[in-house]
Amino acid sequence: MTIQFDRRFVLMGLAGAAMPLPVWAQDLEARVATLAAQYQPKVVAWRRDIHQNPELSNREVRTGKLIAKDLKRMGLSVRTGLAGNGVVGVLKGGKPGPAIALRADMDALPVEDKTGEPFASKAMGEYEGKAVPVTHACGHDAHVAMLLGAAEVLSQMKADIAGDIVFIFQPAEEGPPKGEEGGADVMIRDGALDNPKVKSIFGIHVWPGKPGELLYRPEGFMAQTDRLEIQLHGVQTHGSRPWDGVDITALAADITQTINQITSRRLNITKEPTVVTISIMEGGLRYNIIPETLRLAGTMRTFSKARRDEAIDKVTKVVEQLAASYGATAKVEFTMNAPLTYNDPQLSKDIFPVLVKAAGEGKVSDKATLITGGEDFAEYQKVVPGVFCFLGIAKPGEDPEKIPPNHSPYFNIYEPAMEVGVRAHALAALFMLTREASV
Asked if residue 6 is part of any domain, the answer here is: no
pLDDT, mean of residues 63-75: 98
> What pLDDT, on the 0 to 100 scale, is given for residue 28?
82
Query: How big is the CA angle at 206 (ends 197 and 184), to the nearest 5 degrees?
Result: 35
Q: Pick the catalytic residue: 173, 226, 272, 419?
A: 173
Shared domain for 111 and 61, answered yes or no, is: yes
Asked if residue 280 is part of any domain, the answer here is: yes
Q: Pick the catalytic residue: 107, 350, 375, 379?
A: 107
Phi/psi of residue 197, each to 5°? -75, 115
Least Cα distance to 264 among 256, 276, 255 occurs for 276
* Percent of the chain whose predicted confidence (pLDDT) is above 90: 89
pLDDT, mean of residues 340-363: 97
Report whether 138 contacts 172 (CB < 8 A). Answer: no
Binding residues: 138, 140, 174, 205, 407
Shared domain for 387 and 417, answered yes or no, is: yes
> What pLDDT, on the 0 to 100 scale, is given for residue 19?
38
Asked if residue 1 is part of any domain, the answer here is: no
Asked if residue 329 is part of any domain, the answer here is: yes
Q: How far apart are CA 43 and CA 36, in angstroms?
A: 9
Say how far residue 54 (Cα) sits from the centre of its chain: 16
Domain final residue pick, 338, 371, 392: 338
Question: Domain tally for the chain?
Answer: 2
Structural domain including 317 reads 224-338
pLDDT, mean of residues 407-432: 98
Shared domain for 320 and 377, answered yes or no, is: no
Q: Residue type at 422?
A: V
Shared domain for 50 and 124, answered yes or no, is: yes
> What pLDDT, on the 0 to 100 scale, is given for residue 26?
53
Is 344 in the active site? no
Domain final residue pick, 303, 321, 338: 338
Q: How far apart are CA 102 and CA 144, in angstroms?
A: 11
Shared domain for 310 and 390, answered yes or no, is: no
Helix orientation angle between 418-438 and 140-155, rounded to the nearest 10 degrees: 60
Does the structure show a pLDDT above 80 at 22? Answer: no
Least Cα distance to 215 among 417, 372, 401, 389 occurs for 389
Asked if residue 270 is part of any domain, the answer here is: yes
Greater model confidence, 56 or 24: 56
284 Cβ contact partners less than 8 Å away, ≥ 6 residues apart: 249, 290, 291, 294
What DSSP element (H or E) covers 302?
Answer: strand 293-302
> What pLDDT, on the 0 to 100 scale, is given for residue 128?
86
Does the structure show a pLDDT above 50 at 352? Answer: yes
User: Would you call 430 helix, strand, or coil by DSSP?
Assistant: helix
Report whether 417 contacts 35 (CB < 8 A). Answer: no
Binding residues for Mn(2+): 138, 140, 174, 205, 407
Does the structure show a pLDDT above 90 at 313? Answer: yes
- Strands 162-170, 86-92: pairing kind: antiparallel
Shared domain for 159 and 68, answered yes or no, is: yes
Does the structure show a pLDDT above 70 at 11? Answer: no
Q: Residue type at 276?
A: V
pLDDT, mean of residues 127-133: 93
Query: How big is the CA angle at 429 (ends 427 and 430), to the nearest 5 degrees?
Result: 65
Does the structure show a pLDDT above 90 at 7? Answer: no
Q: How far apart are CA 124 and CA 168, in angstroms?
A: 26
Does the structure show a pLDDT above 90 at 335? Answer: yes
Kindly indicate the confidence band of residue 178, based on its pLDDT and cuts at 50, 70 and 90: confident
Shared domain for 161 and 229, answered yes or no, is: no
Q: How far apart are CA 65 and CA 169, in angstroms?
A: 11
Is 173 in the active site? yes
The beta-strand segments (E) located in 329-373 are: 329-338, 341-343, 364-365
Q: How far apart are CA 19 and CA 6, in angstroms?
A: 12
Domain final residue pick, 338, 354, 384: 338
Q: How far apart are CA 439 and CA 433, in angstroms?
A: 10
Question: What pTM does this model have?
Answer: 0.89
Q: What is the mean pLDDT of the chain?
A: 93
Q: How far apart are CA 194 and CA 198, in angstroms?
A: 6
